[in-house]
Amino acid sequence: MDAIGQPLPVLHRVPGASRPWLWWLLAAHAAVALLWWQLGWKAGLALMVATHLACLWGVFWPRAAMYGPVLSHLPASDRRVWLTIDDGPSDDTPALLDLLDACGAKATFFLVGERAAARPELVREIAARGHGIGNHSHGHPQAWFWALGPARMRREIVQCQETLRAITGCPPRWFRAVVGHANPFVSAPLRDCGLARVAWDVRAFDAVRADPAGVVAHLESALSPGAIVLLHEGSPHGRNVEMIALLLQRMQALGYATVLPEELERSV
């Protein structure tokens, strides 16, 4: 139940077996053919372009649910937010764990399978400190994740899942798509692994911006109860720990605390 006694919605939504996007696409193409026949090629072509743009929106917009359910905000009514940290484990991980401990904060680390396999002791330490661990693909194919075919998509998700389960003894429940992208082939392996896809509603491009004050100011301006905050570790600019330290300081000043979705699920 939430703060006013209302039941909370289900947060962990694994994709189902149905493919609503496929039926939508078939209906759209039937409409294109009909319009082309009735009104001519200009009208038909315009509708065809529009339907394809809608499909691309489902690929590139992280909160789009065209290719399966996606969680982008928590149903918290008080000042609690979900910190999510992508791309580890990395050299930043030990410092981040100490920082979170010092601030009494919890986060979910969305880990890359190859990096986890290379540094399993860091993965185990994340779990031992009470933080969440999520699946962030096995090889982090940043440039091409959106265009992966069914075999490669399955391999990226399943191999990371198996790697993290072998290290911690517990399979992750959450999946963060690389760059937040999705396509029609993401849902089947998520369903088979029992994974729910997570996006975000607060970000400041901290993986590429080397300005901690500017990054945190942007994050602060977008904070709200239940926000899912996208953060990174191990970025080339080397300032992620500094950014997260400053963010936690500002959150404390504003009266914000952290929450993991499992804590909200237990209160349903």
| Stronger pLDDT, 141 or 4, i.e. the higher one | 141
- Identity of the residue numbered 129: R
Which residues make Cβ contacts (< 8 Å) with residue 27, sequence separation at least 6? Answer: none
| CA dihedral over 150, 198, 177, 174, signed as positive or negative | negative
Instruction: Read off the pLDDT of residues 120-137 as tens digits, 9 standing for 90 and up.
Output: 999 999 999 999 999 999
Lowest-confidence pick of 2-6, 64-68, 87-91, 93-97:
2-6
Active-site option among 138, 140, 181, 232: 232
Q: What is the DSSP letter of 132?
A: E
pLDDT at 29: 60
In percent, how much of the chain has pLDDT > 90?
A: 76
For 107-119, give one letter per residue: b (16+ CB within 10 A) or e: bbbbbbbebbbeb
Q: How confident is the model at residue 1 (pLDDT cuts 50, 70, 90)?
A: very low
Task: Inform me whether the pLDDT recorded for 148 exceeds 70.
Answer: yes
pLDDT at 33: 73
| Rounded alpha-carbon distances, angstroms, from residue 220 to 25, 98, 170, 193, 233 | 39, 22, 33, 35, 19
Which contacts of 164-173 are long-range, i.e. CB under 8 A and separated by 24 or more positions?
164/111, 164/113, 164/116, 164/123, 164/133, 164/135, 167/116, 167/117, 167/120, 167/123, 167/124, 168/123, 168/124, 168/127, 168/133, 170/127, 170/133, 172/133, 172/134, 172/135, 173/12, 173/134
Task: Inform me whether the pLDDT recorded for 190 exceeds 70.
Answer: yes
Pairing of strands 80-88, 257-258: parallel
86 classed as catalytic: yes
| Stronger pLDDT, 180 or 32, i.e. the higher one | 180
Task: Inform me whether the pLDDT recorded for 3 exceeds 60.
Answer: no
Strand partners, 232: 86
Rounded to the nearest 5 percent, the helix, strand and coil shares of the chain are 50, 15, 40
Active-site option among 73, 86, 206, 211: 86
User: Is residue 151 within 8 Å of residue 186, measured between CB atoms?
Assistant: no
Segment 178-199 shows an average pLDDT of 96
- Looking from the CA of 218 toward its CB, the CA atoms found within 13 Å total 15
